[in-house]
C-alpha cells in the first residue's frame, strides 16, 4: 500500500491529467509526483492549497473521501473582515447553503500561520477592508463548502489551505513537496 502526503500549490489540479484545458495546459499532480498507481483521495479545488492525500488503497481512499465516515478535515482560512463571535457561532452550529445545512464545524480565530509560504499570485488585499485567519474543521465535503460557509456568514474566503486530513497534516511539507507515509 502506498500513501502520499502532498502540499498542493495554488492553481494546480488535483488530478494527473488536464482533460478540460482549451489553451495552454494547466499544472497537474504529474508535474510534481512520479508515483504510478496512486490517486487523490478526495479533492482540493485548483484555487485551494494544502494537504492532498494520494493512495493506491481503495478502502483508504473511500474512508477519506466519503462523508459517511466523517473524517475531520482542518483548514486555515484567510477571510475578508474579522468574524465576530456571532459569525463563529453560526459556523459552529451549521450554516444553511443552497444544497442544505452543513454539519456543525469547529472554528477559532488564529494568527497567520508561522510556516506560511508565499502564494503565487498573491492574494489581492484592499486597504479599507481588514482580513483575518480562522481555523475551521469540518467532517463532510460539499462542493466548495468552506468558501460557501464563510461567505454565508459575511466573510468571503481570500485564501484556503487544507492543513490536515484526519491525523495527517502539512507539518514538515513545503508547497509543492510530497512524502510517502
Hey, which residues are catalytic here? 45
- Distance (Å, whole) CA 157 – CA 62: 28
| CA–centroid distance for 92 within its chain | 18
For helices 145-152 and 85-93, give the axis angle rounded to 10 degrees.
Answer: 140
The β-bridge relationship of strands 178-180 and 131-138 is unpaired
73-109 exposure pattern, b = at least 16 Cβ within 10 A, e = fewer:
bbbbbbbbbebeeebbebbeeebebeeeebeebebee
Q: How far is Cα 143 from Cα 36, in angstroms, rounded to an integer? A: 27
Q: What's the N-to-C CA distance of the chain in angstroms?
A: 10
Grid coordinates in use for 160? 484556503
Amino acid at each position: 500500500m502506498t500513501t502520499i502526503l502532498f502540499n498542493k500549490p495554488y492553481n494546480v489540479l488535483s488530478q494527473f491529467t488536464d482533460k478540460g484545458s482549451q489553451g495552454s495546459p494547466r499544472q497537474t499532480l504529474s508535474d510534481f509526483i512520479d508515483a504510478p498507481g496512486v490517486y487523490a483521495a478526495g479533492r482540493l479545488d485548483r484555487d485551494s492549497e494544502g494537504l492532498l492525500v494520494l493512495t493506491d488503497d481503495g478502502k483508504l481512499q473511500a474512508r477519506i473521501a466519503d462523508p459517511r465516515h466523517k473524517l475531520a478535515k482542518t483548514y486555515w482560512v484567510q477571510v475578508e473582515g474579522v468574524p465576530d463571535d456571532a459569525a463563529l457561532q453560526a459556523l459552529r452550529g451549521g450554516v444553511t447553503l443552497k444544497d442544505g445545512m452543513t454539519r456543525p464545524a469547529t472554528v477559532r480565530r488564529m494568527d497567520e500561520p508561522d510556516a506560511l509560504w508565499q502564494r503565487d499570485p498573491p492574494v489581492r488585499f484592499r486597504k479599507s477592508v481588514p482580513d483575518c485567519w480562522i481555523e475551521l474543521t469540518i467532517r463532510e465535503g460539499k462542493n466548495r463548502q468552506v468558501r460557501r460557509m464563510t461567505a454565508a456568514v459575511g466573510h468571503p474566503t481570500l485564501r484556503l489551505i487544507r492543513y490536515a486530513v484526519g491525523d495527517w497534516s502539512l507539518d514538515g511539507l513545503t508547497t509543492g513537496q510530497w512524502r510517502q507515509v
